[in-house]
Structure 1
Amino acid sequence: MVISFNSIKGGVGKSTLATTMAGWLASQGKDVLLVDGDDQETSSDFTAWREQTLGNTGYTLVNMTGANLRKQVEAMKPKYDHIIIDTGGRDTTSQRAALSVADVSMIPFVPRSFDLWTITKVTDLIDEIQSIRAEPLIAYTFLSRADIRSADNRDVAEALSQISQLTYLPYPISNRKAISNAAGLGLTPFEGESIDTKATKEIEDLFNRVLNGNHVTATA
């Protein structure tokens, strides 16, 4: 499966989730390719730290940007169980190429009003991509970096669930320190000496829903 993490706004946790999914899948024995399609190269920096911390990343990393990303990912599909693409937080040629080749798009939203204001731009982009694809793109949206308890979570979740172009997944990823602390060492929240079980459950619930269609009890 080719899964692209997309956003047209930075700071939504996209790269953290992309690298976490790559590491999580690799830990299950999957052959994983992580594609860094972001000019900021956050996934590449994470992987460098990961290799320094663990000695082995567990997955293969490549940097691909521009229109050629589509052709290169297509060529690599038969070689890997899963390909994870991390794209930049804006509408770029790389992001469009990723959306055109992916099976699934993961679009995180931070539950803030100014993040939700970008929804029209996101849906316009998805509509445009869908019009040129032979097979429909599965486009998921979910809350990322959500407050543990906040009315904003409910309000933004309700707004996202009304968007016909996107399938809202009620598995929010909370803004937990354990996630950022692990990422700073090149680790996923599933690794290291101190593991936050609440954080790992949230992430695993979301990933399992996307990969397997497993409906688990959603986090309130």
Structure 2
Amino acid sequence: MIFTTAGEKGGSGRSTIAEHFTVWLSKQDFDVLLIDADEQGTASDFTAWREQTLDGNVGYTLVQLVGANLRKQVETMKSKYDHIVIDTGGRDTTSQRAALFVADVAIVPVQPRSHDIWTLAKFTEILDEIQSGRATPLTAYTFLNRADITSLDNRESAEALAGLEQMTFVDCAIKNRKAYPNAGASGLTVFEMGEKSDAKAINEITELFKRISHVNIPITA
């Protein structure tokens, strides 16, 4: 399947989600391609650090693709991999639209802040445009990312997301934990920190991925 992280607001943590999702899929023995479609190249930087930390064995393939041609190139590559994860930038670009058009699943992380919620109005319009040009519907999931450990904003934002018709709200918030940047600084994920692992971070992001991945892994109670 093809998964695209997308959205209209910078700083929502799309790249962190894309990187963790790619590694999580690879750990299920899938052959995964990570496409960096963000001109800032965050996923590429992460992979470069990962190569140094893991002596080149990153566990997946990375390519950089931007622009309208992304759609055609992904179509030619999709038969070579079990799954493709596309990381896009936080704005309406040709690359993001091409990635959404070719995807099976859109993954839309949102911070529980009023400005981030407001930007979804424009993004839902983009989704409507994408859906109108597709032969099959695009499945879109949204969830709270970088959420405060305990905050009224979380509940209010969750209610707003749950009311959107264009996306399915996944009630599995990813909290704003130090485990994510600590792991990312070495090109690693929270799954790979050994004795420094944060069990809460691992459990919450694993549960999210089980819900949105559509792969044959049962959701545990």
Q: Under a length normalisation based on structure 2, what TM-score does the superposition of the two structures give?
A: 0.96
User: Distance between the aligned counterparts of 2:180 and 2:193, measured in 1?
Assistant: 11
1:190 partner SS: helix
Are 2:4 and 2:88, in contact at CA under 8 Å, matched by a contact in 1? yes
2:210 partner SS: helix
Provide the aligned C-alpha RMSD in A. Answer: 1.1
Aligned residue in 1 for 2:70: 69
User: Distance between the aligned counterparts of 1:21 and 1:204, measured in 2?
Assistant: 9
Deviation at 1:215, TM superposition (A): 5.3
Are 1:43 and 1:86, in contact at CA under 8 Å, matched by a contact in 2? yes
- Counterpart of 1:60, as a letter, is T
Deviation at 1:26, TM superposition (A): 1.3
Q: Which moved more, 1:204-213 or 1:125-134?
A: 204-213
Alignment partner of 1:166 is 2:175: no
2:191 partner SS: coil
- Alpha-carbon displacement from aligned partner over 1:95-144 (angstroms, at most 9, x marks no partner): 00000000000001100011111011011000000000000000110000
Deviation at 1:24, TM superposition (A): 1.3
Aligned residue in 1 for 2:198: 196
User: Distance between the aligned counterparts of 1:63 and 1:163, measured in 2?
Assistant: 32
User: Distance between the aligned counterparts of 2:213 and 2:38, measured in 1?
Assistant: 23
- Counterpart of 1:113, as a letter, is S
Deviation at 1:28, TM superposition (A): 2.1
Structure 1 segments of 4 or more deviating over 2 A? 212-217
Aligned residue in 1 for 2:9: 9
Aligned residue in 2 for 1:29: 29
- Alpha-carbon displacement from aligned partner over 1:60-79 (angstroms, at most 9, x marks no partner): 00000000111111111111
- Alpha-carbon displacement from aligned partner over 1:136-185 (angstroms, at most 9, x marks no partner): 00011000000010010000000110010110000110000001110111
Aligned residue in 1 for 2:46: 46
Aligned residue in 2 for 1:206: 208
1:126 partner SS: helix
Deviation at 1:212, TM superposition (A): 3.4
Alignment partner of 1:102 is 2:100: no
1:212 partner SS: coil
Are 2:8 and 2:120, in contact at CA under 8 Å, matched by a contact in 1? no
Q: Under a length normalisation based on structure 1, what TM-score does the superposition of the two structures give?
A: 0.96
- Alpha-carbon displacement from aligned partner over 1:4-24 (angstroms, at most 9, x marks no partner): 000111100100010111111
The structure-2 alpha-carbon separation of the partners of 1:151 and 1:216, relative to structure 1 and needing over 3 Å to count, comes to farther
Are 2:48 and 2:187, in contact at CA under 8 Å, matched by a contact in 1? yes
Unaligned ranges ≥5, structure 2: none
- Counterpart of 2:198, as a letter, is D
Unaligned ranges ≥5, structure 1: none
Provide the aligned length of Structure 1 versus Structure 2: 217
- Aligned pairs for 1:37-186 (under 5 A) are 37-55=37-55, 56-186=57-187
